[in-house]
Amino acid sequence: MSKCKGMFRGGGSALVWPIILLLCLTSNFNRNILPVAEAIWLTIPSSGTKCVSEEIQNNVVVLADYYVIDENNPDHIPTVSARVTSPYGNNLHQNTNATHGQFAFTTSEAGNYLACFWKDGSHQQDAELTLGLDWRIGIAAKDWDSVAKKDKIEGVELVLRRLEGAVQAIHGNLIYLKDREAEMREVSERTNARVAWFSIMSLGVCIVVSLVQLWYLKRYFIKKKLI
Amino acid sequence: MENRWGKMLALMGLLLLNWVSNVSSLSVTVNEVECVYEYVLYEGDTVSGNFVVVDHDIFWSSDHPGIDFDVTSPGGNTVHSLKGTSGDKFEFKAPRSGMYKFCFHNPYSTPETVSFYIHVGHIPTEHDLAKDEHLDPINVKIAELREALESVTAEQKYLKARDARHRHTNESTRKRVIGYTVAEYIMLALASALQVVYIRRLFSKSVAYNRV
């Protein structure tokens, strides 16, 4: 909102300020006034949980915001409960009976992070709930407003800084994909070698077992004086 | 004139700072149908994205039967649809602004995990501004550059999801090789032991003396 206040200090044409106000209202700073294209909406079933997950590397910032959307009943908004678990089972965030909430953490282990939402017991109607979820990781979670304030940059320079951040994130992702591919290639080659080795060994096991059979039966028949 | 240019630049800056952002590539489990909604701010925006079925536990068919995917506009029409695919990219131009519905349909009984990514990209045009404002070409170029970088990021997320699925298949192959080979050896030894036991029984005295 501070940017909007700065704008209003100067004069200007009558048409510019309503447009700026509209932009301020639809911008990232005031989400509750007008929903903007930042989040996906999910439907929470009337019974059961809805879970979303993502596979995240180590040491990545995760920032998420969730809010209940209910156009039918604005004064009696249903509540949800949320739980976020790390790949090793630790509970990173737990919240019950809320219409909105947010959580932020830095990942300490690589793996599948799960966020589950379910309807609270007090509202047992059959209607499904709509939940808006704004889930950002890595470079998308960076707070550019504080960077702009700290370095005193704005406008085109700030946008170009963001683009530079995006390019660095792309580079980091490429290196990650390359490492994953190397790991997988190793596993594939090991499996390939094992298939050959185990098949030959299976032939060997077959021959050994039939030789043992023959030796045992010969011994048995000699003992029974049949041969 | 300078004051006007400064205000216009600030206006442009504000417009661009309204970063029409995207979400990370989330995974969701599809039992029968799973829908995700995303809001498109401007008519004519390019909505792009991809999805990959990550976790298919088909036992011995190498061909995944696939899931169906369709996009419904706020007016109720189906804007885009894909049938029987195990992962694909999509892109379309939004005919109007509003809430779009992206649905995955799973025609089979086994639940599937789908990893998806949706991005709404906007390039500022003359329509976004008031009548007396002019479009600065640098802002259009910056928006195009941003969209190009987003498409690279989207491609990377697609590759990451496909890599995850490939890794899942590899792990399954590794486990199957070890498990089934050990089981095969044990079954072989067991079968030959049973053979020996059977032959012994044939020659035993209690059945019938020297009948064989």
**Which residue ranges make up each domain of chain A?**
40-153, 156-226
Contact B192 A210 (CB under 8 A): yes
Contact A184/B142, CB-based, under 8 Å?
A: no
**DSSP characters for A77-122?**
---EEEEEE-TTS-EEEEEEEESEEEEEEE-SS-EEEEEEEEE-TT
Q: B26-169 has which CATH code?
A: 2.60.120.680
pLDDT at B57 over 80: no
3-state secondary structure of A38: coil
Shortest Cα distance, chain B CAs vs residue A214, angstroms: 9
Q: What is the mean pLDDT of residues A98-102?
A: 88
For domain A40-153, give the CATH number.
2.60.120.680
Evaluate if residue B3 carries a pLDDT over 60.
no
Decide: B9 and B131 in contact? Cβ < 8 Å: no
Q: Number of A to B CB contacts under 8 A, please give it.
A: 186
| pLDDT value of residue B109 | 80
Query: What's the confidence (pLDDT) of residue A119?
Result: 86
Q: Mean pLDDT, chain A, as a whole number?
A: 81
Alpha-carbon torsion B115, A187, A169, A65, what sign? positive
Angle at alpha carbon of residue A217, lines to A211 and A218, rounded to 5°: 90
Closest to B16 (Cβ–Cβ): which among A7, A37, A159? A159
Q: How far is Cα B65 from Cα A41, in angstroms, rounded to an integer?
A: 28
Give domain limits for chain B: 26-169
Look-up of token digits 């704008």: A7
Name residues whose C-beta falls within 8 Å of residue B164's C-beta, 6 or more positions apart in sequence.
A55, B52, B54, B115
Determine what percent of chain B is predicted with pLDDT higher than 90: 50
Q: Do A191 and B164 touch (CB under 8 A)?
A: no
Q: Which residue of A has its CA nearest to B47?
A: A37
CB contact (8 A) between residue A187 and residue B160: no
A41:B12 CB<8 A: no
Give residue B110's pLDDT.
82
Measured between beta carbons, the chain B residues lying within 8 angstroms of A198 are 177, 181
Could you list the beta-strand ranges (E) of B19-155: 26-30, 33-40, 46-53, 67-72, 78-85, 87-93, 98-105, 112-121
Q: Which residue type does B11 have?
A: L
Q: What is the mean pLDDT of residues B135-164?
A: 91
Please, which residues bridge with residue B87 across strands?
B52
Q: What is the pLDDT of residues A66-80, one digit of tens each?
A: 998 876 766 677 888
Task: Count CB atoms within 10 A of the CB of residue A43.
Answer: 15
Q: Are A15 and B18 in contact (CB under 8 A)?
A: no
Tokens in use for A153?
């940059």
| SS3 (DSSP) at B36 | strand
Chain A residue numbers with beta carbons less than 8 Å from the beta carbon of B142 are: 156, 159-160, 163
Asked if residue A66 lies in contact with residue A131, where contact means CB atoms within 8 angstroms, the answer is yes
Contacts of A35 in chain B (CB under 8 A): 39
pLDDT in tens, A23-63: 444 443 333 323 333 588 998 888 888 999 998 888 999 99
Four-CA torsion A33, B47, B94, B91, nearest 10 degrees: -170
pTM: 0.78
Residue B49 predicted with pLDDT over 50: yes
Of A184-188, B6-10, B21-25, B57-61, the one with minimum mean pLDDT is: B6-10
